[in-house]
Protein backbone atom coordinates (compact mmCIF):
# COMPACT_ATOMS: atom_id res chain seq x y z
CA UNK A 1 0.00 0.00 0.00
CA UNK A 2 1.14 3.56 -0.71
CA UNK A 3 2.15 6.12 1.91
CA UNK A 4 -0.74 8.20 3.08
CA UNK A 5 0.99 11.53 3.71
CA UNK A 6 -1.58 13.90 2.21
CA UNK A 7 -4.91 13.63 0.44
CA UNK A 8 -5.13 16.26 -2.30
CA UNK A 9 -6.10 14.02 -5.21
CA UNK A 10 -7.81 10.66 -5.62
CA UNK A 11 -5.13 9.95 -8.21
CA UNK A 12 -2.54 9.82 -5.41
CA UNK A 13 -4.12 6.88 -3.60
CA UNK A 14 -4.54 3.33 -4.86
CA UNK A 15 -7.57 1.09 -4.65
CA UNK A 16 -6.15 -0.70 -1.62
CA UNK A 17 -5.95 2.61 0.26
CA UNK A 18 -9.49 3.52 -0.79
CA UNK A 19 -10.73 0.16 0.46
CA UNK A 20 -8.89 0.64 3.78
CA UNK A 21 -10.58 4.00 4.26
CA UNK A 22 -14.02 2.55 3.48
CA UNK A 23 -13.40 -0.39 5.81
CA UNK A 24 -12.26 1.90 8.64
CA UNK A 25 -15.32 4.12 8.07
CA UNK A 26 -17.57 1.08 8.47
CA UNK A 27 -15.80 0.03 11.69
CA UNK A 28 -16.23 3.56 13.04
CA UNK A 29 -19.90 3.76 12.08
CA UNK A 30 -20.55 0.38 13.72
CA UNK A 31 -18.74 1.29 16.90
CA UNK A 32 -17.95 5.00 17.23
CA UNK A 33 -17.20 4.77 20.98
CA UNK A 34 -14.17 2.61 20.30
CA UNK A 35 -12.61 5.52 18.41
CA UNK A 36 -13.61 8.30 20.82
CA UNK A 37 -10.05 8.91 22.10
CA UNK A 38 -7.99 8.22 18.98
CA UNK A 39 -7.16 11.92 18.54
CA UNK A 40 -6.73 12.93 22.19
CA UNK A 41 -4.29 15.85 22.24
CA UNK A 42 -4.37 16.35 18.45
CA UNK A 43 -5.53 19.49 16.66
CA UNK A 44 -7.12 19.90 13.23
CA UNK A 45 -6.91 23.21 11.32
CA UNK A 46 -9.72 23.91 8.89
CA UNK A 47 -8.75 26.73 6.54
CA UNK A 48 -11.52 27.52 4.11
CA UNK A 49 -11.18 30.09 1.33
CA UNK A 50 -14.62 29.22 -0.11
CA UNK A 51 -18.05 28.69 1.45
CA UNK A 52 -18.82 25.30 2.94
CA UNK A 53 -21.41 23.69 5.17
CA UNK A 54 -20.98 19.93 5.01
CA UNK A 55 -17.26 19.55 4.38
CA UNK A 56 -16.14 21.87 7.17
CA UNK A 57 -18.76 20.89 9.73
CA UNK A 58 -18.39 17.16 9.10
CA UNK A 59 -14.59 17.38 9.36
CA UNK A 60 -14.95 19.33 12.60
CA UNK A 61 -17.52 16.86 13.88
CA UNK A 62 -15.21 14.00 12.85
CA UNK A 63 -12.23 15.45 14.76
CA UNK A 64 -14.32 16.19 17.86
CA UNK A 65 -15.83 12.68 17.81
CA UNK A 66 -12.30 11.27 17.69
CA UNK A 67 -11.41 13.23 20.82
CA UNK A 68 -9.35 15.92 19.05
CA UNK A 69 -9.73 19.69 18.89
CA UNK A 70 -10.34 22.06 16.01
CA UNK A 71 -9.28 25.59 15.03
CA UNK A 72 -9.42 27.52 11.81
CA UNK A 73 -11.23 30.09 9.70
CA UNK A 74 -14.09 29.81 7.30
CA UNK A 75 -14.01 33.40 6.13
CA UNK A 76 -10.63 34.39 4.67
CA UNK A 77 -11.63 38.06 5.12
CA UNK A 78 -10.99 37.59 8.83
CA UNK A 79 -7.48 36.14 8.30
CA UNK A 80 -4.22 37.62 7.02
CA UNK A 81 -5.04 36.25 3.58
CA UNK A 82 -7.02 39.48 3.30
CA UNK A 83 -3.69 41.31 3.72
CA UNK A 84 -2.19 39.36 0.83
CA UNK A 85 -0.56 36.45 2.63
CA UNK A 86 0.33 33.53 0.32
CA UNK A 87 -0.94 29.96 0.58
CA UNK A 88 2.60 28.83 1.45
CA UNK A 89 2.87 31.22 4.41
CA UNK A 90 -0.67 30.50 5.61
CA UNK A 91 0.14 26.79 5.57
CA UNK A 92 3.40 27.34 7.46
CA UNK A 93 1.35 28.91 10.23
CA UNK A 94 -1.32 26.21 10.21
CA UNK A 95 1.29 23.44 10.50
CA UNK A 96 2.88 25.22 13.45
CA UNK A 97 -0.44 25.25 15.27
CA UNK A 98 -1.93 21.85 14.38
CA UNK A 99 -1.33 18.19 13.51
CA UNK A 100 -3.43 17.98 10.34
CA UNK A 101 -4.89 20.56 7.95
CA UNK A 102 -8.04 20.55 5.83
CA UNK A 103 -7.96 23.27 3.19
CA UNK A 104 -10.59 24.37 0.67
CA UNK A 105 -9.34 26.80 -1.97
CA UNK A 106 -10.65 28.20 -5.24
CA UNK A 107 -7.35 27.83 -7.14
CA UNK A 108 -6.43 24.71 -9.06
CA UNK A 109 -3.14 23.33 -7.79
CA UNK A 110 -3.58 24.95 -4.36
CA UNK A 111 -3.90 21.59 -2.59
CA UNK A 112 -0.62 20.41 -4.09
CA UNK A 113 1.16 23.66 -3.15
CA UNK A 114 -0.13 23.39 0.41
CA UNK A 115 1.06 19.79 0.69
CA UNK A 116 4.53 20.79 -0.49
CA UNK A 117 4.92 23.45 2.21
CA UNK A 118 3.26 21.62 5.05
CA UNK A 119 5.07 19.53 7.65
CA UNK A 120 1.77 17.91 8.66
CA UNK A 121 -0.77 16.07 6.47
CA UNK A 122 -2.88 18.25 4.18
CA UNK A 123 -6.33 17.10 3.11
CA UNK A 124 -8.15 18.90 0.31
CA UNK A 125 -11.66 19.97 1.25
CA UNK A 126 -12.19 21.00 -2.39
CA UNK A 127 -9.67 22.43 -4.85
CA UNK A 128 -11.11 24.84 -7.45
CA UNK A 129 -12.85 22.89 -10.22
CA UNK A 130 -10.12 20.29 -9.98
CA UNK A 131 -11.02 17.83 -7.24
CA UNK A 132 -12.89 17.05 -4.05
CA UNK A 133 -11.31 13.78 -2.92
CA UNK A 134 -13.00 13.35 0.46
CA UNK A 135 -16.41 13.86 -1.16
CA UNK A 136 -15.62 11.04 -3.62
CA UNK A 137 -14.66 8.79 -0.72
CA UNK A 138 -17.88 9.42 1.16
CA UNK A 139 -19.78 8.89 -2.09
CA UNK A 140 -18.09 5.51 -2.57
CA UNK A 141 -18.83 4.67 1.05
CA UNK A 142 -22.51 5.44 0.49
CA UNK A 143 -22.62 3.24 -2.63
CA UNK A 144 -20.79 0.41 -0.94
CA UNK A 145 -23.11 0.55 2.06
CA UNK A 146 -26.05 0.29 -0.29
CA UNK A 147 -24.86 -2.35 -2.74
CA UNK A 148 -22.12 -4.21 -0.84
CA UNK A 149 -19.73 -3.97 -3.78
CA UNK A 150 -18.75 -1.22 -6.19
CA UNK A 151 -17.71 -3.57 -8.97
CA UNK A 152 -20.45 -4.03 -11.52
CA UNK A 153 -22.44 -0.88 -10.73
CA UNK A 154 -23.99 1.32 -13.41
CA UNK A 155 -23.82 4.95 -12.37
CA UNK A 156 -25.29 8.04 -14.03
CA UNK A 157 -23.66 11.41 -13.38
CA UNK A 158 -26.04 14.26 -14.16
CA UNK A 159 -25.62 18.01 -14.11
CA UNK A 160 -22.64 20.33 -14.16
CA UNK A 161 -19.93 17.86 -15.14
CA UNK A 162 -17.68 20.69 -16.32
CA UNK A 163 -17.26 22.87 -13.24
CA UNK A 164 -18.35 20.49 -10.47
CA UNK A 165 -15.19 19.26 -8.71
CA UNK A 166 -16.83 16.20 -7.20
CA UNK A 167 -17.07 14.76 -10.73
CA UNK A 168 -13.34 14.41 -11.58
CA UNK A 169 -12.63 12.88 -8.16
CA UNK A 170 -15.46 10.38 -8.61
CA UNK A 171 -14.37 9.44 -12.13
CA UNK A 172 -10.75 8.91 -11.01
CA UNK A 173 -12.03 6.70 -8.19
CA UNK A 174 -14.37 4.67 -10.43
CA UNK A 175 -11.50 4.09 -12.87
CA UNK A 176 -9.72 2.07 -10.17
CA UNK A 177 -12.53 -0.51 -10.02
CA UNK A 178 -13.55 -3.18 -12.51
CA UNK A 179 -16.79 -3.20 -14.36
CA UNK A 180 -18.19 0.12 -13.30
CA UNK A 181 -20.23 1.63 -16.13
CA UNK A 182 -20.78 5.38 -16.19
CA UNK A 183 -23.32 7.43 -18.14
CA UNK A 184 -22.63 11.15 -18.36
CA UNK A 185 -25.70 13.38 -18.73
CA UNK A 186 -25.44 17.15 -19.04
CA UNK A 187 -26.33 20.13 -21.19
CA UNK A 188 -23.68 20.53 -23.96
CA UNK A 189 -22.09 23.52 -22.23
CA UNK A 190 -21.54 21.51 -19.04
CA UNK A 191 -19.91 18.36 -20.40
CA UNK A 192 -16.95 16.89 -18.53
CA UNK A 193 -13.63 18.54 -19.45
CA UNK A 194 -11.42 16.80 -22.01
CA UNK A 195 -8.47 16.79 -19.59
CA UNK A 196 -10.54 14.79 -17.11
CA UNK A 197 -11.87 12.38 -19.73
CA UNK A 198 -8.42 11.79 -21.18
CA UNK A 199 -7.20 10.82 -17.70
CA UNK A 200 -9.79 8.01 -17.50
CA UNK A 201 -9.66 6.97 -21.17
CA UNK A 202 -9.20 3.21 -21.43
CA UNK A 203 -9.55 2.81 -17.64
CA UNK A 204 -13.28 3.40 -17.23
CA UNK A 205 -16.24 2.40 -19.37
CA UNK A 206 -18.13 5.67 -19.84
CA UNK A 207 -20.43 7.15 -22.45
CA UNK A 208 -21.80 10.64 -23.02
CA UNK A 209 -25.59 10.45 -23.21
CA UNK A 210 -28.14 12.86 -24.66
CA UNK A 211 -31.26 11.73 -22.86
CA UNK A 212 -31.54 10.62 -19.24
CA UNK A 213 -34.87 8.84 -19.78
CA UNK A 214 -33.40 6.48 -22.38
CA UNK A 215 -30.98 4.85 -19.94
CA UNK A 216 -32.32 5.71 -16.48
CA UNK A 217 -33.76 2.18 -16.22
CA UNK A 218 -30.23 0.72 -16.24
CA UNK A 219 -28.90 2.81 -13.35
CA UNK A 220 -28.05 1.64 -9.84
CA UNK A 221 -27.11 5.19 -8.87
CA UNK A 222 -28.16 8.56 -10.25
CA UNK A 223 -25.67 11.15 -8.96
CA UNK A 224 -26.98 14.68 -9.48
CA UNK A 225 -24.88 17.86 -9.21
CA UNK A 226 -25.59 21.56 -8.94
CA UNK A 227 -24.87 24.04 -11.74
CA UNK A 228 -21.82 25.84 -10.32
CA UNK A 229 -22.96 29.42 -10.87
CA UNK A 230 -19.90 30.94 -9.17
CA UNK A 231 -17.49 29.24 -11.59
CA UNK A 232 -18.97 30.39 -14.90
CA UNK A 233 -16.80 32.82 -16.83
CA UNK A 234 -19.98 34.55 -18.08
CA UNK A 235 -23.36 34.66 -16.39
CA UNK A 236 -25.31 34.55 -19.68
CA UNK A 237 -24.24 30.92 -20.21
CA UNK A 238 -25.32 30.17 -16.67
CA UNK A 239 -28.71 31.74 -17.33
CA UNK A 240 -29.12 29.52 -20.42
CA UNK A 241 -28.36 26.22 -18.66
CA UNK A 242 -29.76 26.75 -15.16
CA UNK A 243 -32.88 24.72 -14.56
CA UNK A 244 -32.21 22.52 -17.60
CA UNK A 245 -32.51 19.34 -15.54
CA UNK A 246 -34.81 18.76 -12.57
CA UNK A 247 -35.42 15.39 -10.97
CA UNK A 248 -39.04 14.92 -9.93
CA UNK A 249 -41.03 11.82 -8.92
CA UNK A 250 -42.01 11.51 -12.62
CA UNK A 251 -38.36 11.27 -13.70
CA UNK A 252 -38.02 8.25 -11.41
CA UNK A 253 -41.18 6.44 -12.51
CA UNK A 254 -39.33 3.69 -14.39
CA UNK A 255 -36.16 2.93 -12.40
CA UNK A 256 -34.66 -0.25 -10.96
CA UNK A 257 -36.20 -1.26 -7.65
CA UNK A 258 -32.99 -0.66 -5.66
CA UNK A 259 -31.79 2.40 -7.55
CA UNK A 260 -30.70 5.38 -5.41
CA UNK A 261 -30.42 9.12 -6.03
CA UNK A 262 -27.34 10.87 -4.62
CA UNK A 263 -26.20 14.52 -4.58
CA UNK A 264 -23.15 16.07 -2.86
CA UNK A 265 -25.40 19.03 -1.85
CA UNK A 266 -26.16 21.89 -1.75
CA UNK A 267 -29.02 21.45 -4.21
CA UNK A 268 -30.54 24.53 -5.74
CA UNK A 269 -33.55 23.12 -7.54
CA UNK A 270 -32.07 20.08 -9.38
CA UNK A 271 -34.01 17.65 -7.18
CA UNK A 272 -37.57 18.57 -6.25
CA UNK A 273 -38.52 18.40 -2.59
CA UNK A 274 -41.09 15.64 -3.32
CA UNK A 275 -38.21 13.29 -4.13
CA UNK A 276 -36.99 13.60 -0.51
CA UNK A 277 -39.88 11.39 0.57
CA UNK A 278 -39.15 8.68 -2.00
CA UNK A 279 -37.33 5.44 -1.22
CA UNK A 280 -34.59 6.35 -3.72
CA UNK A 281 -33.46 9.54 -1.93
CA UNK A 282 -30.07 8.97 -0.32
CA UNK A 283 -28.49 12.47 -0.29
CA UNK A 284 -29.06 13.29 3.36
CA UNK A 285 -27.72 9.93 4.48
CA UNK A 286 -24.82 10.49 2.08
CA UNK A 287 -23.99 13.76 3.88
CA UNK A 288 -24.14 11.95 7.23
CA UNK A 289 -21.78 9.29 5.89
CA UNK A 290 -19.32 12.15 5.50
CA UNK A 291 -18.69 12.05 9.25
CA UNK A 292 -17.70 8.35 9.32
CA UNK A 293 -15.63 8.66 6.18
CA UNK A 294 -13.79 11.76 7.40
CA UNK A 295 -13.19 10.17 10.80
CA UNK A 296 -11.59 7.26 8.94
CA UNK A 297 -9.45 9.58 6.80
CA UNK A 298 -8.20 11.51 9.86
CA UNK A 299 -7.58 8.30 11.78
CA UNK A 300 -5.60 6.64 9.00
CA UNK A 301 -3.62 9.70 7.94
CA UNK A 302 -2.55 10.42 11.54
CA UNK A 303 -1.76 6.76 12.12
CA UNK A 304 0.85 7.00 9.36
CA UNK A 305 2.32 10.42 10.16
C1 LIG B 1 -19.62 20.47 -3.21
C2 LIG B 1 -18.40 21.34 -3.43
O3 LIG B 1 -18.07 22.19 -2.62
O4 LIG B 1 -17.75 21.08 -4.44
N5 LIG B 1 -20.17 20.62 -1.93
C6 LIG B 1 -19.80 19.73 -0.95
O7 LIG B 1 -18.69 19.76 -0.50
N8 LIG B 1 -20.71 18.83 -0.57
C9 LIG B 1 -20.65 20.56 -4.26
C10 LIG B 1 -21.16 21.89 -4.69
O11 LIG B 1 -20.81 22.94 -4.16
O12 LIG B 1 -22.00 21.89 -5.59
Q: Give the pLDDT mean for 6-24.
A: 97
Q: How far is the CA of 286 from the centre of ligand 1 (A)?
A: 13
- The whole-number pLDDT of residue 20 equals 97
Cβ atoms of 152 and 205 within 8 Å: the answer is no
Tell whether 52 is covered by a domain: yes
First to last CA, the chain: 15
| Mean pLDDT, rounded, for 163-189 | 97
Q: Is 231 exposed, middle or buried (0-12, 13-18, 19+ CB in 10 A)?
A: middle
Domain identity same for 84 and 26: yes
- Residue 97 CA to ligand 1 centre (angstroms): 27
- Which residue has the CA at smallest separation from atom 1 of ligand 1? 264
Q: Residue 6: left (phi > 0), alpha (psi -120 to 50), or beta? A: beta
282 Cα to the center of ligand 1, angstroms? 16
Q: How far is CA 267 from CA 81, 95, 252, 281, 295, in A?
A: 29, 34, 18, 13, 25
Q: What is the largest CA-CA distance in the chain?
A: 55
Give me Rg for the CA atoms of the chain.
Answer: 19
Q: Is there an atom of ligand 1 within 6 Å of 286 CB? A: no
Residue 132 Cβ contacting ligand 1 at under 6 Å:
yes
Contact in structure between 233 and 165 (CB atoms under 8 Å): no
Question: Is residue 178 situated within a structural domain?
Answer: yes
- Please indicate whether residue 54, judged by its CB atom, sits closer than 6 Å to ligand 1: yes
Note the helical H segments in the chain.
15-30, 54-65, 87-97, 110-117, 133-147, 166-174, 194-200, 212-215, 235-241, 283-304
Reported as a pLDDT band with limits 50, 70 and 90, residue 1 is: low
Q: Is the CB of 126 under 6 A from ligand 1?
A: yes
Give the chain's domain count: 2
Contacts of 155 (CB under 8 A, 6+ apart): 143, 174, 180, 181, 182, 183, 219, 220, 221, 222, 223
- Which residue, judged by its Cα, is nearest atom 8 of ligand 1? 264
Q: Ligand 1 within 6 A of 55 CB?
A: yes
- Regarding whether 295 and 230 lie in a shared domain, the answer is no
Q: How far is the CA of 41 from the centre of ligand 1 (A)?
A: 30
Domain shared by 29 and 154, yes or no? no
Check whether residue 23 and residue 119 sit in a common domain: yes
pLDDT band (50, 70, 90) for residue 92: very high
Classified as helix, coil or strand, 125 is strand
- Ligand 1 nearest atom to the CA of residue 125, by list position: 7
| Sheet containing strand 69-73, strands side by side | 69-73, 43-48, 100-105, 122-127
Give 14 Cα–ligand 1 centroid separation in angstroms: 23
If one counts every other C-beta atom within 10 angstroms of the C-beta of residue 268, the result is 11
Residue 272 lies in a domain: yes
In a domain, 5, yes or no: no
Do both 276 and 295 map to the same domain?
Answer: no
Q: Which residues pair with 77 in a beta bridge?
A: none
On whether both 152 and 271 belong to a single domain, the answer is: yes
Q: Identify whether 4 is part of a domain.
A: no
Per the domain annotation, does 156 fall within a domain? yes
What atom of ligand 1 comes closest to residue 287's alpha carbon? Answer: 8
Domain shared by 42 and 170, yes or no: no
Q: Give the model's confidence band at 222: pLDDT under 50 very low, under 70 low, under 90 confident, else very high.
A: very high
The arithmetic mean of pLDDT across residues 7-14, rounded, is: 97
pLDDT at 3: 77
* Helix, coil or strand: residue 217: helix
Query: Is the same domain home to 267 and 293?
Result: no
> Does residue 151 share a domain with residue 276?
yes
Tell me, yes or no, if the pTM score tops 0.95. yes
Return the pLDDT at 197. 98
Query: Using 50, 70 and 90 to split pLDDT, how confident is the model at 81?
Result: confident
With a 6 A CB cut-off, is 264 part of the ligand 1 pocket? yes
| CATH code, domain with 34 | 3.40.50.1370
Distance of CA 265 from the midpoint of ligand 1 (Å): 6
Within this chain, do residues 80 and 161 fall inside the same structural domain, yes or no?
Answer: no
Atom of ligand 1 nearest to the CA of 104: 3
Shared domain for 270 and 208, answered yes or no, is yes
Query: Considering the domain boundaries, does residue 3 fall inside one?
Result: no
Indicate which residues carry an active-site annotation. 54-55, 83, 104, 132
Which has the closest alpha carbon to 304: 11, 21, 10, 15?
Answer: 21
- Whether residue 31 is contained in a domain is answered as yes
* Banded model confidence at residue 82, pLDDT cuts 50, 70, 90: confident
Same domain, 164 and 69: no
**Atom number of ligand 1 nearest to Cα 165:** 4
How far apart CA 125 and CA 122 sit, in angstroms, is: 9
**Strand, coil or helix: what is 180?**
coil
Containing structural domain, residue 107: 10-132+289-303
Tens-place pLDDT, residues 136-168:
999 999 999 999 999 999 999 999 999 999 999
Amino acid sequence: MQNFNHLVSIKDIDKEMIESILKRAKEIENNPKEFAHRMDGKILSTIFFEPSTRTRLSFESAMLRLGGKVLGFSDPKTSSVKKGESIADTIRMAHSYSDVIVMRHYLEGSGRVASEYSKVPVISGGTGIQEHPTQALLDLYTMKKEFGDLNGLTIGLLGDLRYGRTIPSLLYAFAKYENIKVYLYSPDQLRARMTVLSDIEGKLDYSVEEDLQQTIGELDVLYVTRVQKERFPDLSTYERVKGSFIITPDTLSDVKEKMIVMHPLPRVGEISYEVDEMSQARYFEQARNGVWTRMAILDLILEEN
